Structures are given as C-alpha cells and as structure tokens.
Amino acid sequence: MAKEGQPVIFLDHASTTPVDAMIREEIARLMALPMNASSDHVPGQQARALLEESRAETAAILAVSPGEIVFLSSATEANNLALRGIAEVWRRQGRRLRVLTSDLEHSCIRETTADLASRGLADVFAMPVTPGGRAQLPETSDGVDLLCLMAAQNETGVLQDLAGATRLRRAGGGLWLCDVTQFFGAAPVRIADLGADLVSMSSHKVYGPPGVGLLAGPGVKRLLPMITGGPQEGDLRAGTQPVALIRGFAMALRQAEDRREARNQHLRNLESVFLRRLADLGVAHEVNGGAADARLPGFLSLRIPGLDGADAVVALDGRGFAVSSGAACATGVMEASPALRAMFPGDEARAGGAVRITPGAATTVADMLALADSLAELGRRVSTK
C-alpha cells in the first residue's frame, strides 16, 4: 500500500470524484448555517428556498418537473426506493413485480431484485449480455412490469442500448428504471426525451459531495416510500434534508453540463495517449468493451494477458497509482464481478484480468504515461514468469 503522505495518482474516478473546490467552499459556508427546511422560522424558510431552488435547477437540467425529483443519500438508496417502492405497490395489489434486468446492473440493483425475489415479491428475468458488454433487449417487453437498463456500465463504461429501451417504453412496455450514475458526467440526460420512468444518480461521481443522490422522473409519483416518519421529499423520503449537500449536488450538475465537452475531450485525449504508449512499449492488451465510441470517454477496463486484475491493483497501489479491478472478495476468495463473468462466461482468467482505469478532470498526460510504464513493467514480469 502507498504510504500516507506519498503522492497518489488517482485513476479511480468511477468509484468517486474529488469534490470541486468551488463547491467545497459553498458547502462549508452553508454548513455553518442552521438549515432545517421543514422549520417555519426565517432560517428554516431560507433553507427551504435554497432547497427548492436547487430542486428547480436540477429539474431543468434533467427535463422533468421539480415535483418529480426525490433527493436522498446515494444512487444505492435511489435504486432501492425505485425497486422496493414499486414492488410494494404491486404487493398491495396482490401481484409479484416482473422485473427484466441483467448481470451488468450495479450490485444495488442486482442484490435488491434478488432480495425481492427471495421474499416472493418479484420474478426476475435476465437479459443476455454480449461479449462487448451490452445487455440485449428483447423485441418486445410485453409481460414486463419493470425494465432495469442502466445507461453506462460501471466496470467497463460500455454504453447501453438507450435508443432500444426508449423504443420499448414508447411501444407501451412496462416502467423503465435507468441508472445514469456513470453516464451523466459524459452525456446529458433529458428524462422527457429518454422516456425513462425513473432515473437514478449520485453526486459523488460528478465532483459533487458524497452523501446525496436522487431519483427522478414521472415514475416517482407511482412509488410508496421505504423510509417513513416525515413529510419531506413529497412524503417519499422522510428525514431532514442535507440542504448544503443538495446545493453542492445541484452545482455539480450545472458544472457537468457546462464543462462536459471540455472534460470529454480531455478524457479522450488521455485515453489515446495512454493506449499509444502501451502499444509503443509493446504491451499486449485488450480493452473490455472494445472501441472508444462504445464506451464512456477515457473509461478503460484493461486486460493484459497473464496479469490478474486484483494482483495488478495491489502492485499499482504500491507504485502510487489508485485504480480498481472488477473483482470482489466473495467468501474469502477474489471473484470476478457478475458483469465481467457475464461478458466472458466460463473464462475466469479473462473476467478476472480486468483493471479499471478511470482518469478525471485533474489527471495529466504525464500521469497516464507513468501508469503505462508501470503496467509495461508488470506485464514484462508476468510474461517472463
């Protein structure tokens, strides 16, 4: 592990992004104020005004009405509210929710749908996954109550078939929950055009503060709450709102809109410089998900034959690089994630070889070149073993 104080080159922006300096300052200023948006005195009214201003700005960015936005703690909570909130409505009608999803979805969707199924509240059907990392939508979604199709996959950055899902939804299929957590930084999300019923996202992936996320779209009107005990967020999420964090989230969304093109260009350039260096150094490698235009800009899930993903993460950490692998510890053994296993069924070495490299706004060309050099060194070691 890199020692405390040792400079770290952070290339794991898909896991979280540092909070933008201007946003940090604004949050710190607001944190000094007493802000309970449910209070009737003047400070409470001021907090409420700031909260509703943030909601209106967010609604304009996402092309929904302010009443169709629920602020909560994270994308994980947003997806839980969506899935459990709909399943509860169905349960009260004596029905099991029929969910169409895939192994590509984030664990907060996979595990929540599995939990609903285990309690007899849902029947879960899985879409096939292509080796390129896309979920294959069916021709029709007749008989499906809820489609879970994310916008961009969080381990490979692969863009999913949003146009196909929009078509299915317009053709009268069931509700559509679209997790745009990784996607929003790279592309705009206009819910009215997308046609999704529910969209989930998180502030800490777009240079906003951690601890705040949202669920938005016309589908929020069809949910039952999972957290009760107060009237906040249209009775859908009880608990005093963290107004300063929500303000920071709205600012981050605005910045993402304004800086998107420049950020994307920067990330594309870093990706091509890095891949060129690897090629110049003669490092055999594959990018999971394939060509750059099939993925989020700069989002690389890399495989160097012979190199295990989890081992590479540890070795790179020791050299001062923070990256991640697609593996997680399952019952004491490192296992490739369901998403990578679905892309490469039966090929554990391929699935377990992924190293996820996600540069960000402050990453430099020198950072990427240094990483390529370190990977070349690791690659040489495994090839001479």
- The answer to whether the CB of 212 falls within 8 A of the CB of 246 is yes
Of residues 181 and 374, the one with the C-beta less far from ligand PLP: 181
3-state secondary structure the chain: CCCCCCCCEECECCCCCCCCHHHHHHHHHHHCCCCCCCCCCHHHHHHHHHHHHHHHHHHHHHCCCHHHEEEECCHHHHHHHHHHHHHHHHHHCCCCEEEEECCCCCHHHHHHHHHHHHCCCEEEEECCECCCCCECCCCCCCCCCEEECCCECCCCCEECCHHHHHHHHHCCCCEEEEECCCCCCCCCCCHHHHCCCEEEEEHHHCCCCCCCEEEECHHHHHCCCCECCCCCHHHCECCCCCHHHHHHHHHHHHHHHHHHHHHHHHHHHHHHHHHHHHHHCCCCCEECCCCHHHECCCCEEEECCCCCHHHHHHHHHHCCEECEECEEEECCEEEECHHHHHHCCCCHHHHHCEEEEECCCCCCHHHHHHHHHHHHHHHHHHHCC
* Of 26-34, 69-77, 270-278, 368-376: span binding ligand PLP (CB under 6 A): 69-77
Q: Which is nearer to ligand PLP, 91 or 179 (CB)?
A: 179
Q: Is 76 one of the binding residues for ligand PLP (CB under 6 A)?
A: yes
By the rule CB under 6 A, 367 interacts with ligand PLP: no
CA distance 121 to 119: 6
Examine residue 58 and tell whether it contacts ligand PLP (CB under 6 A): no
Interface with ligand PLP by CB under 6 A: which range of 51-59, 70-78, 117-125, 248-256? 70-78
Q: Which of 108, 245, 283, 355 binds ligand PLP (CB under 6 A)?
A: 108
Q: Which is nearer to ligand PLP, 17 or 202 (CB)?
A: 202
Which residues are identified as catalytic? Answer: 329
By CB under 6 A, is residue 160 in contact with ligand PLP?
no
Distance in Å, CB of 121 to ligand PLP, minimum = 21
DSSP 235: G
Q: Kindly state whether residue 202 participates in binding ligand PLP, applying the rule CB under 6 A.
A: yes
Min dist. Cβ of residue 280 to ligand PLP (A): 32
Among 17, 54, 74, 363, binds ligand PLP (CB under 6 A): 74
Cβ proximity to ligand PLP, 86 vs 376, nearer residue: 86
182 is an interface residue for ligand PLP by CB under 6 A: yes
Q: At what angle do helices 243-280 and 21-31 cross, to 10 degrees?
A: 160
For position 324 contacting ligand PLP by CB under 6 A, the verdict is no
Told to check if 80 binds ligand PLP by CB under 6 A, we report no
Q: H/E element holding 379?
A: helix 365-383
Q: Tell whether residue 181 is a contact of ligand PLP (CB under 6 A).
A: yes
Q: Are 373 and 281 in contact (CB under 8 A)?
A: yes
Interface map 119-158 toward ligand PLP (x if CB under 6 A)? -------------------------------x---x----
If one asks whether residue 360 binds ligand PLP (CB under 6 A), the answer comes out as no
Q: Which of 50, 64, 69, 75 binds ligand PLP (CB under 6 A)?
A: 75
Question: Least distance to ligand PLP from the beta carbon of 13, Å?
Answer: 11
Please, which residue, 108 or 315, has the CB nearer to ligand PLP?
Answer: 108
Interface stretch with ligand PLP, choices 36-44, 123-131, 178-186, 219-227 (CB under 6 A) = 178-186
Binding-site size for ligand PLP (CB under 6 A) equals: 12
Q: Which residues in this chain contact ligand PLP in the complex, by CB under 6 A?
A: 74-76, 106, 108, 150, 154, 179, 181-182, 202, 213
